[in-house]
Amino acid sequence: MSSGPRRVVVTQRFFDESATDYLRSAGCEVAVTELAPGQADGDLGPEALTALLRGASAWIVGHARVTRELLAALPDLQVIARRGVGYERVDVQAARELGRVVAIAAGGNDASVADQAIGMMISVGRRFGEAQARMRAGAWSILMGTDLYRKTVGVVGLGRIGRSVVQRLSGFEARVLVVSPRPDPDYAAQTGVTYVDLPTLLSESDYVSLHAPLTPATRHLLCAEPLAAMKPGAFVINTARGGLVSDRDLLEALRSGHLGGAGLDVFESESDPSLQPVTEALIALPNVVAAPHAGASTREGLARTNMIAARCVVAALEGQPLPPQCVVADGRAGSTNP
C-alpha cells in the first residue's frame, strides 16, 4: 500500500459498512455525502460537486454528470467508480485524455435487475396493481390476467442482465426471441433462444424486455412505428434506460389499447425534466407497473455493487489492474486497458 491517506468521496445512498471498512483497511479516508431527502447526486450541479470532491482521490458516483470541465477542475481525482453499469453520463474520452480511470460495478446487479424484469412481467400480466387498487376501493371482482408460462418473450440486448433474464425464463418454459448485435450459436444451442431481427421479435412477442445500452443507435428503439408493429395486447418491460423508449409514443400506444400494459423502471424524464408530465401520465395508467429506477436497489445487489466499486477504487489507487469487465476508461500511463 502507498503511504498517506487517499480521500474517497461517495455520493450514493446505501453505501454499507462492509465496503466502507474495506476502503479504510486499504488506507483510504471515506466521506459519504449526506444528501437531502429525495435528492440524488444527479441533482447536484458542477459547483456543488466540485466543492464536495476537491482534494479527493476517488469518487464513487451514482447518476451525476461527469464532464470534462468537472474533471479538469479536480486534478487530484484519479478514479471515478460507478456503483452501477451505465456510464452514458460520463465523458469517457475526457477521462482517458486527462489520465483518469473510470470503472463500473459489472456483475453486481445482474440478478437484482433480472429479478425485477421477471417480476414486472408477472405483475403487469396478472394485473396485480389494478386488482389491489380495486380492492382498496371495495371492489373484489376478479380481473382476468395473462400467464407468463409458455409465452413468447422478446429480449432486446444480451449482456449480463439480458442473459440473466433468459436464464429465469427457462423456468416458465417460455419461447425466447433475442435481438443482439453479436449472435452466439453456442449460446443459442445451450439455451434454446432464437436470434431474430427486431421486426420479427416485436410482431411475435407477448412480452418485450429491453436490456440494451443507451446509444445514439438505440435511442427511441421503441417509438411510434415499432410500437405499432408489436403484437396487439403485448407488454413492454423497460428496466434498462429511459431513452430506449419514446415515452410519449408508449403513452399513446397504451391509451389506444394496442398494448396490454408496461412495466417501467426507467423514464425519459430522468434526463429530460420537461417530460415529467408524460411520466406522470404513464404511471397513472392502471395497466402500468412502475418503479423509480430501483431495479438494482436490493440489499444484496447494493452490497455487491458497493464492494465491486470499492475494490476498483483500491486497485486503481494502488496502480493495479482492474477486472477487465469493470474498466470503461483507463488513462494511466502505460495502461493496456481501454
Clarify whether 270 is annotated catalytic: yes
Q: How far apart are CA 273 and CA 157, in angstroms?
A: 27
Clarify whether 127 is annotated catalytic: no
Q: How far apart are CA 31 and CA 104, in angstroms?
A: 20
* Helix, strand, or coil (residue 149): coil
Angle ∠(255,142,257) on CA atoms, nearest 5? 15
Query: Which run of H or E residues covers position 104?
Result: strand 101-104
Contact 267, 261 (CB under 8 A): no
Single out the catalytic residue among 65, 96, 241, 304: 241
Single out the catalytic residue among 82, 96, 268, 270: 270
Clarify whether 293 is annotated catalytic: yes
Q: Is the sign of the CA dihedral 246, 251, 257, 263 positive or negative?
A: positive
* Residue whose C-alpha cell is 466543492: 51
Q: How far apart are CA 94 and CA 172, in angstroms?
A: 45
Single out the catalytic residue among 63, 293, 304, 311: 293
Question: Among all residues, which ones are annotated catalytic?
Answer: 241, 270, 293
